Chain A
Amino acid sequence: MSSENAAEAKFVDERPPSLVRQAFRLRRTQIGAVLALMLISVALIGPFLAPFGSTEYVDLPNTLSVPGTIFGTDYFGQDVLSRFLFGGRTILILAILATSIGITLGTTLGLTAAYLRGRADEAIMRALDVVLSFPQVLLSLVVISMFGPSNVLIIFTVGLSTTPRIARIIRGAAIGVVERDFISAAEALGESRKRVVFAEVLPNVTSSLLVEMNLRLTYSVGLIASLAFLGFTPEPNAANWGLMIQENRVALTEQPWGVILPTTALALLTIGTGLIGDGFSRVSAGIDRGGKGE
């Protein structure tokens, strides 16, 4: 390895930590982190604090004033608060897993396509187009009605239906990066393709990636809830914020809490992760500029 190469590599390696550190210096990132952590702890600790079981019958459905409860009962006579406390874990796990699948596959494919260009690019993107040309809801809907709804299937369908979307965004962002001089420089220095893609190109698309990741997480939650809305539920009556909104939607005018609590939780969570994503994208935009190797 030549000395210039070492210098370049060192420069690359320094980026991630400084990005995180810089990002967390921003107020918005801090607020975002606090919000996200808060909701994640509700999801994790909630089940231990719940006054009733997640499927326990408490009183007549959709009753607001039930002794022993704060928010009354839901569509099925269960304690709204307990359902809420139980409901974070499942949806978070489902959405996070689905998004991770989508992000991993999508980023890899998007970067590869952008970097290889030419025929490989064409082949990858066309293959993804086929998947992409079905709206996510349709794709999930058809697959779920094929195999019957299950959590694993939801994770995979949602994840896979997200993949081409992420791949396109990443490719779009990476194509510009690939054009830049420092990539040709790295290539000229004989870095392996893998290394060029993941160490040189990837850090330069982090802003798009982070924005995308956070959005996809939100949309995955929404998609899971929307499938329930259309009547495709993995486990009916499972305590799950997404389903909770759907289940209690009909009685919204009589028992608003069953919708307000999970919606607020999901909104706060998304705002939290959104602010973090924002922080990252701001900071990385700056780094991108500095990192052009001028």
Chain B
Amino acid sequence: MEQQEIETSGLSRRHFIQGVSSAALAAGILSSSSLSAFAASAPGKKGGTLKVGVVGGANDLFDANYIVAKADQARLMSTFETLLTFDENFVPVTANGLAESAKQNSPTKVTVKLRKGVKFHDGTPMTADDVIATYKRLLDSSKKTTGKPLRTFLDPSGLVKLDDLTVEFNLKAPNVDFLSSLANYTYAIAKAGYDGKTQIGTSGYSLVSFTPGRESVHKRFNGYWDAKNVYFDEVRIIDFADKTALVNALIAKQIDIAVDIPFEQFKTLKSKKYLNVIENSAGAWLAFCMRIDIKPFDDNNVRQALRLLVDRKQMLNRVLSGHGKMGNDLYGYIDANYNANGYEQRKQDIPAALALLKKSGYSKSNPLRVELTAPDDTGGLVLMIQTLAEQAKKTDGVVIIDAKVIDGGTYWSAKGQYMNTGFYTTYWSGRTYLAQAAASMDSYPETKFPPADSSFRADYLKASGTANAKKRREIVAKMQKEEFEKGGYIIPFFNNFADAYSTKVKGVVARPSQLNMDYYAHGFKNIWFN
């Protein structure tokens, strides 16, 4: 039975990450989580105002289906909820989600049963109509949302209301991992008719006020479906323009949580007795992008040579002070099928790089001179291009990299360096392999990989529709081989991120999570003041 196989696939992922082999755990997809059970068994004290500091500015966004920065994530998570959420192994579960159960009946059909008694902040009940409206918004290309990757698999006509609390997703292309999409944190459910302006969600805290660049105030929502796990009277998400000010405010006890602390302050914060620091490695990555259709990167020798030029260990140390894991030009670190071919760690190999370049006619007298850009609004990227330019000096003038920092507004704009030039930088949060392949192919074609004559896209669709874990792994391995040998990304490392919080705050869970503070404590529930 196919459904059985899906659960097996979930299990194999667990196998890979933790070596847990209990069938009961696999069933966790459909049952309530151990996490909320834990929270329930250790009830905390109610009350207080939680002050959360996060880097933000006038550009702050508030939308159930679109974010840019961490401040936006924090606000989205405190106001809205998704159908499913990810557990620590990135398996979709119902805990903290709006679905009571979610079943993939076949590679093209998913049925979601909603929790009973879920209310929006305005008191109206949440029903199948709201879920359908949300997904229609995500599928609507005229709306600014992160829904692009969904559109490969789903049309609005595929959304069917079976009854008030049951929705059926009929996919136009097979995707056996569709439950993961339902756990995407930007696919949060808003009330039907949501325009992105009035923020009415279903979370434990309703929005009182939002002032971009300053703060948002959230008040405990008494009609919440999981009210026993909502502890604070009020949550304030406060913007900081400068990371140092953020950390100082935490040290001076003016805020309770500092989201995303700089590694420069890691030791200092750890040494404070009244603070806790949690570090999270969940497969987020920074990368150099080489457009495979732009000279000189259309030459695979050049791409492979540049990949061999990178001293990844040094780059990890220099850019992240070692807080991360070395990369191998493959993404999807959290996926059970990460590096399915078991490639050895790529190391800096200057002679091999030079040999490849020689084949393409580059030498000291005819050097490979390229411009590499990074936006000034993303710290790690700036350091990365400088490190690579420095490392290229080891080729003794055969490769010359001109590292250039561009202002973020220009860089990310439609005509900017991002996606329009041959050699630039990007960043991503952790995703499973196929989800990332889709995002990198269609939503953000950063490298223009795969080339026209490649079977990569066909393999992707095949893998998405293959329920058998072993067969799927084989297809993924083939895709990864192609990327490893001909791709356009240089992925030097997967970066960790860290948060610090006052020891006053109890109930914080440290486990791998896509977002800071374990998905912002799922909207700052499950945590309380001592």
Contacts and interface: CB of A to CB of B under 8 A. Distances in A.
Same complex: yes
Interface of A: 55-57, 59-62, 75-77, 145, 148, 231, 233, 236-237, 249-251, 253-254
B497 to A, nearest CB: 16
Contacts of A253: 265, 268
A55 B265 contact: no
Contacts of B376: 231, 233, 236
Given A145-B407, A233-B405, A236-B386, A250 B321 contact: no
Contacts of B390: 55-57
Interface of B: 243-244, 262-265, 267-268, 314, 317-318, 321-322, 376-377, 382-383, 386-387, 390, 405-407
A237 B386 contact: yes
Given A57-B390, A254-B264, A77 B318 contact: yes
A250 B264 CA distance: 6
Contacts of A145: 407
Mostly, the B contact residues are: helix
A60 B268 contact: no
A250 B243 contact: yes
A155 B338 CA distance: 51
Nearest to B318: A77
A60 B322 CA distance: 8
Contact of A57 (B267, B314, B322, B377): B314
Given A55-B386, A145-B407, A231-B376, A251 B317 contact: no
Contacts of B262: 250
Nearest to A63: B321
Nearest to A78: B318
A249 B405 CA distance: 20
Given A253-B268, A254-B264, A254-B265, A57 B318 contact: yes
A59 B314 CA distance: 9
Contacts of A75: 264
Most buried by A among B318, B382, B386: B318
A67 to B, nearest CB: 16
23 contacts: A55-B386, A56-B390, A57-B314, A57-B317, A57-B318, A60-B322, A61-B318, A76-B318, A76-B383, A76-B386, A77-B317, A145-B407, A231-B376, A236-B376, A236-B405, A237-B383, A249-B244, A250-B243, A250-B262, A250-B265, A251-B265, A254-B265, A254-B268
A145 B263 CA distance: 28
Contact of A61 (B243, B244, B317, B405): B317
Q: Which 6 A-B pairs have the closest CB atoms?
A: A251-B264, A250-B264, A253-B268, A77-B318, A61-B321, A237-B386
Contacts of A77: 317-318
Contacts of B406: 148
B265 A60 contact: no
Most buried by A among B243, B262, B265, B377: B265
Contacts of B387: 57
A99 B322 CA distance: 42
A253 B383 CA distance: 21
